[in-house]
């Protein structure tokens, strides 16, 4: 139940239930991430699973992801650049949000769900565009 509401609430809040197809990115393919993949897919959206390496690719695809991005691979990131309307970040380890901004469409939204022990650093130039 906890994982379900943690992912359902931002999906609802940011328009995933409005009937308009979206591209939804899910960063982190653990318990929360796999729940997010299943929910976004069940809502009829294109789902992009995002993890640091390809080790979680098969799991993500088996849960319903339409595409997979290994964020440590520049080519993989470039293939999905500018496509996500909404990204739900479930990672609860030190990382930088700025790394994922290139995946967002103009006016896209990145929602931080995982608790992170260090501050995120984001350049204003990255979010202006």
**pLDDT at residue 83 above 80?**
yes
For the segment 40-79, what is each residue's pLDDT rounded down to a tens digit?
999 999 999 999 999 999 999 999 999 999 999 999 999 9
pLDDT of residue 81: 97
Count how many domains the chain has.
1
Domain that holds residue 17: 2-128
Written as one string, the DSSP assignment of the chain is -HHHHHHHHHHHHTTTTSS---EEEEE--SHHHHHHHHHHHHTT-EEEEEESSGGGHHHHHHTT-SEEEETT-HHHHHHTTT-EEEEEE---SS--GGGGGGGEEEEEEEEE-S--SS-----HHHHH-
pLDDT of residue 10: 96
In this prediction, what percent of the chain has a pLDDT beyond 90?
Answer: 76
**pTM recorded for the entire structure:** 0.93
**pLDDT at residue 94 above 70?**
yes
Report the CATH number that the domain containing residue 23 is assigned in CATH. 3.40.50.720
């Amino acid at each position: 139940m906890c994982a379900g509401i943690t992912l359902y609430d931002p999906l609802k809040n940011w328009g995933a239930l409005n009937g308009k197809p979206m591209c939804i990115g899910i960063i982190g393919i653990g318990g929360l991430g796999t729940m997010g993949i299943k929910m976004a897919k069940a809502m009829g959206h294109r789902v992009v699973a995002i993890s640091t390496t390809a080790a979680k690719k098969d799991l993500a695809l088996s849960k319903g992801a339409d595409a997979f991005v290994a964020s440590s691979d520049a080519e993989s990131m470039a293939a999905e650049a500018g496509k996500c309307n909404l990204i739900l970040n479930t990672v609860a380890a030190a990382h930088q949000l700025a790394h994922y901004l290139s995946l967002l469409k103009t006016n896209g939204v990145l929602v931080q769900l995982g608790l992170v022990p260090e501050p995120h650093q984001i350049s204003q130039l990255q979010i202006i565009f």
